[in-house]
Amino acid sequence: MIQVKQELLTALARALAAVAPDAGASAAFESPKQASHGDLAITAAMALARPLKANPRALAQQLVEALTAQPEVARWVAALDIAGPGFINLRLKPEAKQAVVADVLQAGARYGWQPAHGRKVMLEFVSANPTGPLHVGHARQGALGDSLAHLFETQGWDVTREFYYNDAGVQIATLAASVQARLQGLKPGDALWPEAAYNGDYIADIAEDFLARETVLADDRRVTASGDPRDLDGVRDFAVAYLRREQDLDLRAFGVTFQSYFLESSLYTEGRVAEAVQRLVAAGKTYEQDGALWLRTTEWGDDKDRVMRKQDGSNTYFVPDVAYHLTKWQRGFAKAINCQGTDHHGTIARVRAGLQGLGLGIPQGYPDYVLNTMVRVLRGGAEVKISKRAGSYVTLRDLIDWTSRDAVRFFLISRKADTEFTFDVDLALKQNDENPVFYVQYAHARVCSILRAGAEQGLAPDTAALGRLVAPTELALMVKLAAYPEMLAQATRDLAPHDVAFYLRDLAAALHSFYAAERVLGQDDADLTRARLALLDATRIVIANALALLGVSAPESMFREETPSCALN
């Protein structure tokens, strides 16, 4: 159906050129708001009405007449209807919808993917300072960032996933002091226990391994403990490496990997913060007042100018962010996206203003932000707030241990990032259609079961008789399969990985409706059976592809025993 749509777009372009040769209108289809209105919609008549000073319905009629004369329209379109103020709805012939089955079977895992275009995008997410276990907020950022990275890969981008953290700030000093207190025999609640110390059990684990002179290896560092409780620098380095390793282990269990790690401290040791400040001063975008250095952020829409360097000579917290994002631009990333908590909202305008002030041609909306709210966790009908391991919050590892990686990944991506979300552990464990991840995975497993049964009967998917697929549920399922490529493109443009989860639930519903209405096996018409098996095989491929974008598995059986593969293409 991809080829069908391209042919129809070409026909629409010719029709627009005939009706409005000087308007420069672009050919585009939209999806009707209701399936009953048709398969594709054209809104060009309404867009052209004002510049052409014409009645939109009259323009729509001219456009319908021009479209009817196009051979592609005669081949693929069953009806053209004008609705409302000038909408044109297209109803496709069954053979246009049937073409998607062959498209999917031919493309396989690459169905809906676009060719590589060479542009680079960086996804920065999680970016947790190594001061404790990853919490559920980090988990949501991990699911969002990794799924977005997969989406950009489908659209031809060269994707880098980067983890940014600070290994030398106040929080790290608190971490070192907490571990040293444990090494001195103190514990939370003791009179001499530091007031700001971290209280989780993981602090005792770090202290124990430090005394044992263990070596820890994280993705970006390796440290061997000295075993000397008086060695505060050694305690700090070991604790950072220990927790970085723990983060790596958690993220691997979550199916998330990073190609790059960036230390905030390097911005200072390599002079990048000083460079950014000097560039802004030289560009005339700063001024001094009350002993502080200010950035003219109001020039780029901020409600007031912001202090860059305080009276004591220290930089405010957004300055290293400007320097950091400058490095992203200098490293060739035409697009940069940050997945962060909503508490970072206040820094967006300042960071972008700082980048604009550098005068390097960085786009105004650079970087993009996907801000997520925190996650509430319910278990047994009550909210869970404390993890024994972390001391004060529910961790990513807790969620995975209580449910599964698949459930955590799917649930955390199933809502818009900026909406409140409650993770219901009990719901994630249910094996019925109330549980969205089970519902989708069961659809995949059901198809695999039918394909295996067909193979046992000597019946394999075959596209030779696709013209037999004209039942309403068959056509609806094919339309949903055909919508997949555009869904990928739109979800990427909108930075909306939750669209993939929405699509999967709709596709699973279309599959279950087809299964309830039409018999696949056990009938006398072998050609129709093979065509329906081809439709099911295409559905299996798209479900598996979309689940993979979310980091969720596509089981071939919902039971524990091993089953033969259903991958027939």
Closest CA to 112 of 151, 159, 161: 151
Q: In the chain, what are the domain boundaries?
A: 2-92, 126-261+373-428, 436-549
Is 259's pLDDT higher than 90? yes
> Mean pLDDT, to the nearest integer, of 369-393?
85
pLDDT bracket for residue 390 (50, 70, 90): low
In sequence order, which ranges of 225-347 are alpha helices (DSSP H)? 232-253, 264-269, 272-282, 318-330
Tokens of 488: 């990928």
**Residue with token string 């046992």:** 456
Question: 475, 317 in Cβ contact below 8 A?
Answer: no
Higher pLDDT, 31 or 78: 78
CA distance 96 to 117: 29
In sequence order, which ranges of 431-483 are alpha helices (DSSP H)? 436-456, 472-482
| pLDDT single digits (tens) 282-291 | 999 999 999 9
Q: How far is CA 494 from the centre of its chain?
A: 10
Predicted confidence at residue 565, as pLDDT, reads: 57
Is 568's pLDDT higher than 50? no
From residue 552, how far is each of 218, 404, 408, 486, 546 by CA, in Å? 25, 10, 9, 21, 9
The architecture that CATH gives domain 436-549 is Orthogonal Bundle (1.10)
Least confident of 32-41, 158-167, 242-251: 32-41
| pLDDT single digits (tens) 406-415 | 999 999 999 9
Strand locations in 310-462, DSSP E?
A: 335-341, 368-372, 375-379, 382-383, 421-424
| pLDDT single digits (tens) 23-60 | 777 888 888 877 778 889 999 998 888 888 889 999 99
CA distance 134 to 148: 20
From residue 192, how far is each of 1, 82, 239 by CA, in Å? 71, 79, 21
Tokens of 147: 């799924």
CA distance 566 to 569: 9
Does the structural domain 126-261+373-428 have CATH classification 3.40.50.620? Answer: yes
CA distance 70 to 12: 8
CA distance 371 to 353: 19
| pLDDT single digits (tens) 177-193 | 999 999 999 999 999 99
Q: Strand pairing partners for 377?
A: 423
CA distance 319 to 286: 13
| pLDDT single digits (tens) 98-125 | 999 999 999 999 999 999 999 999 999 9
Enter the CATH code of domain 2-92. Answer: 3.30.1360.70
Higher pLDDT, 344 or 240: 240
Please report, rounded to a whole number, the percentage of residues in the chain having pLDDT higher than 70: 97
Least confident of 68-77, 219-228, 384-393: 384-393
Predicted confidence at residue 389, as pLDDT, reads: 63
Predicted confidence at residue 169, as pLDDT, reads: 86
pLDDT bracket for residue 2 (50, 70, 90): confident
**3-state SS, residue 84:** coil
From residue 271, how far is each of 26, 278, 524 by CA, in Å? 48, 11, 77
Global pTM reads 0.91
Predicted confidence at residue 22, as pLDDT, reads: 80
Question: 90, 128 in Cβ contact below 8 A?
Answer: no
Q: HEC string of 213-225? A: CCEEECCCCEEEC
